[in-house]
């Protein structure tokens, strides 16, 4: 397994592989407690949300269909079950996906493109 993926799954700092990446449920710490590396350049945008929506849909849709057609639950009971279940699955998946994408960015030395990076194209 690639080291950036291990860091991502464990939600560890991609620089030193020891410090915790998250300071809250989904909020990154400003810097690593172990090595001091800044996490301010961590910009994963909508990447983790896209993967989590796709995977959560594959997990939760069969559960919904089984509860709806197998157990014939009412819509209110379904909503009472599926809403917290969806939140739990999505938040549980978002942390490692966000950490993995950030760790991959660090591993591949990705950086956000600036306008000055494209000045040579306008001449």
Q: Is 19 a residue that touches Zn ion (CB under 5 A)? A: yes
Q: What is the C-alpha separation between 82 and 85, in angstroms, rounded?
A: 5
List the interface residues with Zn ion, window 58-117 (CB under 5 A): none
Please, which residue, 37 or 49, has the CB nearer to Zn ion? 37
Q: Is 16 a residue that touches Zn ion (CB under 5 A)? A: yes
Please, which residue, 37 or 63, has the CB nearer to Zn ion? 37
C-beta atoms surrounding 102 within 10 Å: 26
CA neighbor of 21 nearest in space, from 104, 100, 114: 100
Could you tell me the smallest distance in angstroms from the CB atom of residue 57 to Zn ion?
A: 34
Q: What is the C-alpha separation between 52 and 91, in angstroms, rounded?
A: 9
Could you tell me the smallest distance in angstroms from the CB atom of residue 12 to Zn ion?
A: 8
C-beta atoms surrounding 114 within 10 Å: 8
Q: Is 13 a residue that touches Zn ion (CB under 5 A)? A: yes
List 32, 42, 56, 103, residue binding Zn ion (CB under 5 A) = 32
Write out the residues near Zn ion by the rule CB under 5 A: 13, 15-16, 19, 32, 34-35, 37
């Amino acid at each position: 397994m690639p080291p950036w993926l291990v860091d991502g799954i464990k939600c560890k700092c991609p620089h030193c592989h020891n410090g915790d990446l998250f300071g809250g449920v989904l909020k990154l710490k400003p810097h690593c407690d172990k090595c001091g590396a800044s996490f301010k350049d961590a910009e994963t945008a909508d990447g983790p949300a896209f993967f989590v929506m796709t995977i959560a849909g594959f997990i939760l849709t069969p559960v919904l269909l089984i509860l709806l057609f197998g157990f014939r639950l009412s819509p209110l009971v379904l909503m009472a079950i599926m809403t917290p279940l969806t939140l739990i699955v999505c938040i549980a998946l978002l942390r490692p996906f966000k950490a993995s994408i950030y760790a991959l960015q660090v591993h591949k030395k990705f950086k956000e493109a600036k306008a000055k990076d494209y000045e040579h194209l306008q001449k």
